[in-house]
Structure 1
Amino acid sequence: MKLFEARWRSATVFIAGLAAAWVALLLYLFSMAPGVTWAHQGADGGELLAAAVVNGVPHPPGYPIYVMVLRHWLAFIGWAAPATDLAWRGNLLSACFGAASVFVTVLVAAHLLKEDPLRWLWGLLAGLAWMASPLLWSQSILTEVYSLHALLIALLGWAVLAKPLRLRYTAAAVALGVAHHLTLLLLLPAALYALITSHRGARRWLGPLLALGIGGVIGALFYIRIPLAAAVGPPPINWGYADNWEGFLWLVTGAAYRGYLVGASLGAVLQRVTTWAYVVTEQFTPVGLALGFVGLAVWDRVAPALRTFSLLWIAPVSVYAILYQTRDSEIYLLPVAWLLSVAMTVGFKSVVEWLAMRFPLRISYVAGLFAALSIALLVSTRWETIALRNDAEARTYLAQIGAELEPESILVTLNDRETFAVWYGVWGDGSLVDAAPGLIPVNESLYQFAWYQRLQRDLYPDLPGIDVSVPYLVEMYAGRRPIYFADAPTWLDSSRLQRAGPLWRLNE
């Protein structure tokens, strides 16, 4: 009988996880961007899609496992549903990753509350809360790396909290995480602590340390894909041109972005602390944040190891997000939001138990219904600001420039949004090449790197001077090829430019 009850409880948790995942998938599908988008800091999507199509290397650190998965996913959906938009297929992959992370979150929360007969309910609420958090929702409806990152965060949490004695799970989660997004390394101190406190013996640290080390080494091996892909062709999207050691280190270590992490003024850091507080509060409202603190207080009282684990999990990524001065650094707070969704459920359960001692009602079920309705209300109120089903800005831009460009044009871009959209139109779905055969896109800001100059020379050996600079290119090919700019260059006399839709055309 006890065995049957244990299996039934496990089955109810599994069913609750599937239910939450399906709800999440439906939410993401109905709110998903129909194509390539710039919303929610998602401009990288155009580049990632194009890199997957050409088997190239996207921006640092190269995301080897994501590009491999995305490349095969695009091919599979293209075979199964050939009429679908290429970017829509990539957006669908993000929705699947996001829904899978919701399923894993249910399992983790239910395990931490395994002594409660209603653990399936608490797990369900944790999963639904995580589903509706703006950070996860916004990244699960467009092509980006962060929904997979969210899934791997949840898997690492599940491995070290629910299955700490099965170290192969931890090694696998670390390997996949390192192969995808290197910020997962910031979670390893918390993971090591959770594993050590779950083992016994004088050398209880040895097994966990080996598991993390083996996982890290296996994950690092995935980066072999980068020099292999960089050397073939070469592909037109080939950051770092990493077929050599220098380019590989430049790419994987994120050398181009180091300036964003160091040298921040005290005022800038304080502003980032304010942003951190706002982003964390925004995920579950002030009430949810308060319940999260209640959950941490419960762990402090009855499970101090979980309290310490939480602090080790939250602190490194929070410091990194605060010190990393970029427009999208708040996305690195995904691990904080994930843990908060679990702690908030623990806090909510504690409040419900306090109320149950004072009211002769089935307060747990009533509270569960109230929480589910609250999550539904959050979804409805956030729909207008998060949902992208009517988003068309990036697609409209591509259509407009496609109507202006001429065959054999040179198109100069500067910023990420326009650059990655153009790359998608040229090397992704090919819409810009269809509109303007022979189109050559160049990025002015990337000419500062020797690898980009080398790449342009190898891609276009019949165009002398394309490996020098944009000003040199303009003077050499003015009157010989149509030249367009996504942004009017400040170094060029404005009298030599004329408007052409959203572009600027060089007067011959």
Structure 2
Amino acid sequence: MKYLKQAIIPLAVFLGAGFYYYHQACPTFYYWDSAELTAAVLGRGVPHPPGFPFFLILSSAWQRFLSLDPKLSLNVFSALFGALGLCFWYQVTVKVLRLLRLAKSEGIISLVSLVSVAIMGVSLTYSIQATRFEVYSLNFAGFAALTLICLSIINRETPSKLLSLGFFMLLGAFLAVHNLTIALAIPGLLLLVVWPQKMTLGNALLGTIGSFIFSGLFYLLLLFNAQSNPPLNWGDPANLGNLVDYILVKGFVTSTSRFTLSHIIAQLSFAYDIFIRQIGPAALALALFGFGYVIWKKREIGIPLTLIFGLNIVSVAFAENYFYENYDLHGYLMISLAIAIIFLAVTFLLIHNLIMSRFKGKRAEVTRALALGIFLIFAMLILAPPAKDNFRSADLSKVRGAEEYAGRFLADAPDSSVVITSSYNTYFCALAYQALFPNTRGKAVVNLYNWDHEWGRDESDRALKIPAQEKFIRTSYYSDFINRAKKSHPVFIEYDQSSAPIARYLIPRGMGYLFSLSDTLSDPATFAVDDPYISLSSKASDLESIRTWVLWLQSRGEYFTRLKCDKAASRYIAQIDTLASKADLQ
């Protein structure tokens, strides 16, 4: 009965959060990595490094055994683990407050933990990872489970080899989800158990080495997937040499090359701006006070948590330098946000105790009721503004833009055509659409930026069945590829600046451009009147859809500018301004 009572609130958190996220889940694949991961799961492909093999295994099993419509079910997968992660973090917060011994009442500890975790649950940073198919909700659930195990080890009088083994096996599995954020949490997690001498430093290091080895086994999945030459085959890790290069992100240096002091400072200020919108300035100030208190009173808890917080904040500097606030950056911040929530809960509990002390001498029942009422009013005043701003901010339940765009783009491409995409967004969306609708797979979709890598050129060569001895060299690959492709296939192109040299040979056809050496654009000045770019972009409602369309419209306008058709180009610029005003973009 005792354990049943203890399970009621965690279960309520799980069910409540699950209901909240499920009703906001995107009904189909979303843009960018969500589309890429959909293509990887349904097509048994290889996504960009680090590959997320454990995530692919779990989501593939989820889809295969439940036999649900993958368009929605993969997003529900994220909602499930978003709810589970929140449930785990509630329990982590309770355990930390117990260790601090700030209250004897389990009810007050539970209430403070629930209030604190609730603001995290409705934040955009957390909830946007639970309403679209992404790695971050599963990744956080794993981190929360690892933290929970560490706290369980601390609370035990005698060491448990089984619990320690479970920790390191779980660590290995989640290093195969989002390895950067989990790896950056390792020093703090190990310090939690080594500091109070619940585990020796030697055993902790040996266990961590074992975790990395165990994690490596999951990456063999990517090797097996690559050997079947799937449409999405990033890095082509079809042999051990390529797999090692893939794991070490050889040639994928866009992020790490920017790890300079100036970049870190710029990204940290960017992270702070995002962070403060999740819990508000008042709650952040209270969290800072809680941080100071825990460092002062229980540094064996405070320092490890601070280490986890700090390293994961810095992880944003490893992320791409996006043109705008990308939802993936919120994923990088989830762990740091969760640590701040613990410090906030500590301050809330201290405030409750302070209120209680003001009612000494009154009857116990009256004291508790008054203190509780005042505390709840105070907490609502602090948390209501950010909660109001963020409530349902991740609602994607009516967003079908990625599927609609990809479907229209592929429908506009002639049968048996070679489709050359420039935006990775278009590339991923097209592959996700083909994975969902097999009748569209007769069109070979490639991405020209993959041609910067040998594996990308090999992938495109296979699409045209070009023999290995006839490989094109990198410097002239674009023109050589088109010249070879047009002999037997229509060539359908997504325009950006890389295609500017051949702009005069590109004839707009729906969402893309048909390559032709003979036809010309008959009346470019009036082309944009019935252009689907205008009509489809007008439907964009959520922030990411709007920002995505801004980039697509910009390329469309640049095409007409290149042809000196300023009147046509101006229509796209005007549409960009209209969309930007919706999203308050600069």
What is the alpha-carbon distance in structure 1 between the residues aligned to residue 132 and residue 330 of structure 2?
Answer: 17
**Would the alpha carbon gap of residues 316 and 381 (structure 1) be closer, same or farther in structure 2, given more than 3 Å must change?**
closer
**Would the alpha carbon gap of residues 304 and 102 (structure 1) be closer, same or farther in structure 2, given more than 3 Å must change?**
same
The structural deviation recorded for 1:140 is 0.7
Task: Deviation per CA, 1:423-447: give whole Å up to 9, x if none.
Answer: 1122x202xx53x562111110101
Worse-superposed segment, 95-104 or 127-136: 127-136
Of residues 486, 499, 505, the one that matches 2:508 is 499
Q: Is the 8 A contact 1:130 1:338 kept in 2?
A: yes
Q: Is the 8 A contact 2:309 2:336 kept in 1?
A: yes
What is the alpha-carbon distance in structure 1 between the residues aligned to residue 483 and residue 357 of structure 2?
Answer: 81
**Would the alpha carbon gap of residues 501 and 103 (structure 1) be closer, same or farther in structure 2, given more than 3 Å must change?**
same
**Would the alpha carbon gap of residues 375 and 388 (structure 1) be closer, same or farther in structure 2, given more than 3 Å must change?**
farther
Q: Is the 8 A contact 2:93 2:113 kept in 1?
A: yes
**Would the alpha carbon gap of residues 302 and 267 (structure 1) be closer, same or farther in structure 2, given more than 3 Å must change?**
closer
Match of 1:207 in 2: 203
Match of 1:450 in 2: 454
- Whichever residue aligns with residue 317 of structure 1, its letter is N
Task: Deviation per CA, 1:201-254: give whole Å up to 9, x if none.
Answer: xx83233333333333222222222222222x2222222211223311221112
Q: Is the 8 A contact 2:507 2:514 kept in 1?
A: yes
Match of 1:405 in 2: 413
Q: Is the 8 A contact 1:104 1:158 kept in 2?
A: yes
What is the alpha-carbon distance in structure 1 between the residues aligned to residue 5 and residue 282 of structure 2?
Answer: 28
Match of 2:22 in 1: 29
Q: Report whether the alignment pairs 1:96 with 2:80.
A: yes
What is the alpha-carbon distance in structure 1 between the residues aligned to residue 387 and residue 472 of structure 2?
Answer: 50
What is the alpha-carbon distance in structure 2 between the residues aligned to residue 466 and residue 507 of structure 1?
Answer: 24
Worse-superposed segment, 188-197 or 290-299: 290-299
Worse-superposed segment, 252-261 or 437-446: 252-261
What is the alpha-carbon distance in structure 1 between the residues aligned to residue 381 and residue 145 of structure 2?
Answer: 27
Worse-superposed segment, 125-134 or 283-292: 125-134
Listed as ranges, the gaps of 5+ residues in structure 2 are 99-103, 323-327, 360-366, 518-586
User: 1:400-439 residue pairs with structure 2 within 5 A?
Assistant: 400-426=408-434, 428-430=435-437, 434=439, 436=440, 438-439=442-443
What is the alpha-carbon distance in structure 1 between the residues aligned to residue 449 and residue 423 of structure 2?
Answer: 8
The structural deviation recorded for 1:44 is 0.9
Q: Is the 8 A contact 1:59 1:239 kept in 2?
A: yes
Q: Is the 8 A contact 1:410 1:482 kept in 2?
A: yes
| RMSD, matched Cα | 2.6
**Paired residue secondary structure (2:514):** strand
**Paired residue secondary structure (1:262):** helix
Match of 1:4 in 2: none
**Would the alpha carbon gap of residues 458 and 498 (structure 1) be closer, same or farther in structure 2, given more than 3 Å must change?**
closer
**Would the alpha carbon gap of residues 399 and 53 (structure 1) be closer, same or farther in structure 2, given more than 3 Å must change?**
closer
What is the alpha-carbon distance in structure 2 between the residues aligned to residue 463 and residue 208 of structure 1?
Answer: 51
What is the alpha-carbon distance in structure 2 between the residues aligned to residue 22 and residue 456 of structure 1?
Answer: 46
The structural deviation recorded for 1:361 is 5.1
Q: Is the 8 A contact 2:424 2:447 kept in 1?
A: no
Of residues 148, 151, 155, the one that matches 2:141 is 151
Task: Deviation per CA, 1:106-160: give whole Å up to 9, x if none.
Answer: 1111112234422222332233233122221111110111111111111121122
Q: Is the 8 A contact 2:407 2:430 kept in 1?
A: no
Task: Deviation per CA, 1:273-299: give whole Å up to 9, x if none.
Answer: 211211222221112212211221221
What is the alpha-carbon distance in structure 2 between the residues aligned to residue 318 and residue 354 of structure 1?
Answer: 32
Match of 1:224 in 2: 220
**Paired residue secondary structure (1:442):** strand
Q: Is the 8 A contact 1:13 1:107 kept in 2?
A: no
TM-score (norm 1): 0.88
Q: Report whether the alignment pairs 1:19 with 2:12.
A: yes
What is the alpha-carbon distance in structure 2 between the residues aligned to residue 263 and residue 67 of structure 1?
Answer: 28
Match of 2:522 in 1: none
Q: Is the 8 A contact 1:109 1:123 kept in 2?
A: yes
- Whichever residue aligns with residue 350 of structure 1, its letter is L
Aligned length: 485
**Would the alpha carbon gap of residues 412 and 383 (structure 1) be closer, same or farther in structure 2, given more than 3 Å must change?**
farther
- Whichever residue aligns with residue 168 of structure 2, its letter is A
Match of 1:3 in 2: none
The structural deviation recorded for 1:395 is 1.9
Q: Is the 8 A contact 1:135 1:283 kept in 2?
A: yes
What is the alpha-carbon distance in structure 2 between the residues aligned to residue 376 and residue 20 of structure 1?
Answer: 19
User: 1:71-82 residue pairs with structure 2 within 5 A?
Assistant: 71-77=60-66, 79=67, 81=68
**Would the alpha carbon gap of residues 109 and 274 (structure 1) be closer, same or farther in structure 2, given more than 3 Å must change?**
same
**Would the alpha carbon gap of residues 214 and 323 (structure 1) be closer, same or farther in structure 2, given more than 3 Å must change?**
closer
Q: Is the 8 A contact 1:408 1:481 kept in 2?
A: yes
**Would the alpha carbon gap of residues 384 and 16 (structure 1) be closer, same or farther in structure 2, given more than 3 Å must change?**
closer
What is the alpha-carbon distance in structure 1 between the residues aligned to residue 329 and residue 420 of structure 2?
Answer: 27
What is the alpha-carbon distance in structure 2 between the residues aligned to residue 48 and residue 403 of structure 1?
Answer: 22
What is the alpha-carbon distance in structure 1 between the residues aligned to residue 64 and residue 200 of structure 2?
Answer: 45
Q: Report whether the alignment pairs 1:110 with 2:94.
A: yes
What is the alpha-carbon distance in structure 2 between the residues aligned to residue 53 and residue 105 of structure 1?
Answer: 31
**Paired residue secondary structure (2:29):** coil
What is the alpha-carbon distance in structure 2 between the residues aligned to residue 477 and residue 220 of structure 1?
Answer: 39
The structural deviation recorded for 1:263 is 4.5
- Whichever residue aligns with residue 353 of structure 1, its letter is N
Match of 2:495 in 1: 487
What is the alpha-carbon distance in structure 1 between the residues aligned to residue 447 and residue 408 of structure 2?
Answer: 19
Q: Is the 8 A contact 1:234 1:459 kept in 2?
A: no
Match of 2:55 in 1: 66
The structural deviation recorded for 1:346 is 1.4
**Would the alpha carbon gap of residues 76 and 447 (structure 1) be closer, same or farther in structure 2, given more than 3 Å must change?**
same
What is the alpha-carbon distance in structure 2 between the residues aligned to residue 463 and residue 404 of structure 1?
Answer: 29
Match of 1:306 in 2: 301
Listed as ranges, the gaps of 5+ residues in structure 1 are 1-6
- Whichever residue aligns with residue 513 of structure 2, its letter is W
Q: Is the 8 A contact 2:258 2:317 kept in 1?
A: no
Of residues 27, 46, 54, the one that matches 2:43 is 54
What is the alpha-carbon distance in structure 2 between the residues aligned to residue 485 and residue 156 of structure 1?
Answer: 47
**Would the alpha carbon gap of residues 155 and 174 (structure 1) be closer, same or farther in structure 2, given more than 3 Å must change?**
same
Q: Report whether the alignment pairs 1:191 with 2:181.
A: no
What is the alpha-carbon distance in structure 1 between the residues aligned to residue 225 and residue 453 of structure 2?
Answer: 19
